[in-house]
Amino acid sequence: MATVTSQVADICRSAKRAARALARVDTATKDAALEAIAAALQERTEEILEANARDMHAGRDAEIGDALLDRLRLDEARIEGIAKAVRQIVALGDPVGEVIDGHRLSNGLDVRKVRVPLGVVAVVYEARPNVTIDAAALCLKSGNAIVLRGSSSAMHSNAALAQIAAEAAVSAGLPQGCVSLVAGGGREELAELATQIQTVDLIIPRGGEGLKAALKDVAKVPVIYAASGNCHVYVDASADVDQAEAIVINAKVQRPGVCNAAETLLVHEAVAAEFVPRIVRSLRAAGVRLRADERTVAIAGPQAGDALEEVTEEDWETEYLDLTIAIGVVDSAEDAIEHIGRYGSGHSEAIVTRDTAVARAFQLGVDAACVYVNASTRFTDGGEFGMGAEIGNSTQKLHARGPIGLRELCTFKYLIEGDGHIRG
């Protein structure tokens, strides 16, 4: 344990030194560093793919499953996409120094509330090596040093990407230690990182409930949980069924192993006779495994055969992250809202409806970071929201909610200017 402690503590101290310097770095230098990272990714694609191939081979041997393998896999197109996301962050405005509010007091003091970096952000994540670069780019642009801690399943990919990012950033003028990776210590290492209260300002875990639980047990550093997504699509009585079908298929099938994929479909009883048989056929054709309540089974009819498994209480609570969906019929929008309130994780929820009053009630009644009307839950993403990229999606309400982008990686300070003022 002593070796792990020393390694993690040393990395965090170096990051803290870098963060103090980064807070004063101008926008042009930060942007040049991100451009250097994007270029290095493209130039060293072969090196990254070789590292990723080692992780993919190990993942198949360990039978980690198709969803995790999809998250883990890199190819030339995905690396190009990562580099593109970095350049999109370059194009975004620098949040550091933004004046959030400002006014002059009656005594003549000028008060400004100004956005500033958090300092050192530690990102703990599972499987997805693209997070290495997305997180690093967002942190550097927002003036933060970053300490990365990936999972063992992506060990080689993360090491290659972190090294490339760190070397490119430093070569472009950012301080040594601005991008760091800790690896090799298992749960002991995670626990040590989570207790670095003198040097780490925030931890963002991006992974499953196991990672979340592990951090809750040990964390002393503030945490924003980029948590799981038990997301729902509710098809209302007035829904355009063509739209509804397209939205459900997209939300479930396009990329089932991600947190903004739909896990439950709720259908209003007034449209169920028309919609349920149709969506059951489409989901089955897409290879989706169906868990259904009694009303859905009855409406789907004998043509569904044994394709519909009986839904359980556990199914309503489950984030499948694969081609499985739970289906239920409800009597009203209020029942759908109640169901989502009971089982949802506060991530992303959608309604398909042509009734503006029902849509508004759904928006007000559903407590989630992202609430959609006539759109797929798959849009919950920093890139899709014009934020360039994201570190994760927060289901908390403080200090960030939804995609965690540049502004969510900042805090603020008050700058007060006077002319010899003293308090009487």
Task: Give 270-329 as a DSSP string.
Answer: HHHHHHHHHHHHHHHHTT-EEEE-HHHHHHH-GGGGGGEEEP-HHHHH----SSEEEEEE
8 A C-beta contact, residue 95 and residue 142: yes
> Distance of CA 286 to CAs 250, 253, 289, 305, 313, Å?
11, 7, 9, 17, 25
What confidence tens digit (pLDDT) does each residue in 241-281 have?
Answer: 999 999 999 999 999 988 999 999 999 999 999 999 999 99
Report whether 22 contacts 140 (CB < 8 A).
yes
Lowest-confidence segment of 135-139, 171-175, 284-288, 391-395 by average pLDDT? 391-395
Cα 366 to Cα 281: distance, rounded to the nearest angstrom: 29
pLDDT tens for each residue of 363-386: 999 999 999 999 999 999 988 998
> Do 93 and 166 fall within a single domain?
yes
Give me the chain's average pLDDT, please. Answer: 93
SS3 of residue 226 by DSSP = strand
Q: What's the CATH code of the domain at 205?
A: 3.40.605.10
Q: Are residues 198 and 279 in the same domain?
A: no
Regarding whether 354 and 317 lie in a shared domain, the answer is: yes
Name the band, by pLDDT with cuts 50, 70 and 90, for residue 3: very low
pLDDT of the residue at 418: 97
One-letter amino acid at 424 equals: G
Chain centroid offset of residue 236 CA: 28
Q: What is the pLDDT of residue 354?
A: 98
Q: What are the tokens at 263?
A: 């896990």
Instruction: Let me know whether 270 and 145 are in one domain.
Output: no
Q: Residue 6: inside a domain, yes or no?
A: yes
The confidence score (pLDDT) of residue 5 equals 44
Would you state the pLDDT for residue 55? 95
Q: Is it the case that residue 76 has pLDDT exceeding 80?
A: yes
Domain containing residue 248: CATH number: 3.40.309.10
* Residues near 227 by beta carbon (within 8 Å), at least 6 away in sequence: 209, 212, 259, 345, 346, 347, 393, 394, 395, 396
Mind listing the pLDDT tens digit for each residue in 11-47? Answer: 999 999 999 999 999 999 999 999 999 999 999 999 9
CB-based contacts of 124: which residues, under 8 Å, 6+ apart? 149, 150, 190, 193, 203, 204, 205, 206, 207, 211, 215
Distance CA 8, CA 111 (A): 39
Residues 149 and 69 in one domain: yes
- The answer to which of 7-11, 109-113, 127-131, 389-393 has the lowest mean pLDDT is 389-393
Residue 423 lies in a domain: no
Whether residue 325 is found in the same domain as residue 411? no
Question: Does 424 fall in a domain?
Answer: no
Predicted local confidence at residue 29, as pLDDT: 98
- pLDDT category at 226 given cuts 50, 70, 90 is confident
* DSSP string over 29-54: HHHHHHHHHHHHHHHTHHHHHHHHHH
Please report whether residue 124 resides in a domain: yes
Q: Which amino acid is at 192?
A: E
Determine the pLDDT at residue 184: 60
The H or E element that residue 202 is part of is strand 202-206
Query: Higher-confidence residue: 387 or 219?
Result: 219
Residue 275 is assigned to a structural domain of this protein: yes
Residue with tokens 């081609």: 323
Q: Which residue has the tokens 């759109």?
A: 375
222 & 235 share domain: no
Do 200 and 101 share a domain, yes or no?
yes
Same domain flag for 283 and 413: no
Spacing of C-alpha 210 from chain mean position: 16
Least confident of 7-11, 215-219, 314-318, 406-410: 215-219
Q: Is residue 86 part of a domain?
A: yes
pTM for the model: 0.86
How far is C-alpha 102 from the geometric centre of its chain's CA atoms?
32
Cis peptide before 399 (omega within 30 of 0): yes
Secondary structure (3-state) at 150: coil
Compute the Cα dihedral for 274, 276, 277, 283 and give only its sign: positive
Tens-digit pLDDT profile for residues 113-143: 999 999 999 999 887 899 999 999 999 999 9
203 domain-assigned: yes
Query: What integer pLDDT is reported at residue 6 of this predicted model?
Result: 58
CA 294 to chain centre: 34
| CB neighbours of residue 82 within 10 Å | 24
pLDDT of residue 357: 98
Residue 185: which pLDDT band, with cuts at 50, 70 and 90? low
Domain count, the chain: 2
Yes or no: say if 138 and 407 are a contact pair by the CB < 8 Å rule: no
Pull the structure tokens for residue 322: 């694969």
With residues binned 3-state (H G I as helix, E B as strand, rest as coil), the percentages for the chain, rounded to 5, are 50, 20, 35
What pairing do the DSSP bridges indicate for beta strands 145-149 and 179-181? parallel
CA-based end-to-end distance of the chain: 55
**How many Cβ atoms sit within 10 Å of the Cβ of residue 393?**
27
Percent of the chain residues past pLDDT 90, beyond the cut: 83
Rounded CA Rg of the chain: 24
Task: Domain of residue 306: give its range.
Answer: 231-379
Contact 14, 177 (CB under 8 A): yes
> 396 with 368, same domain?
no
Residues 44-63, mean pLDDT to the nearest whole number? 96
Q: Are residues 251 and 187 in the same domain?
A: no
* Parallel, antiparallel or unpaired: strands 120-125 and 202-206: parallel
Tell me, what DSSP letter sits at residue 409?
Answer: G
Give the per-residue pLDDT at 4.
Answer: 43
Same domain, 215 and 255: no
Q: Which burial class, exposed, middle or buried, applies to 331 when counting CB atoms under 10 A from its CB (0-12, 13-18, 19+)?
A: exposed
**How confident is the model over 302-354, as pLDDT tens digits?**
777 778 999 999 999 999 999 999 999 999 999 999 999 999 999 999 999 99
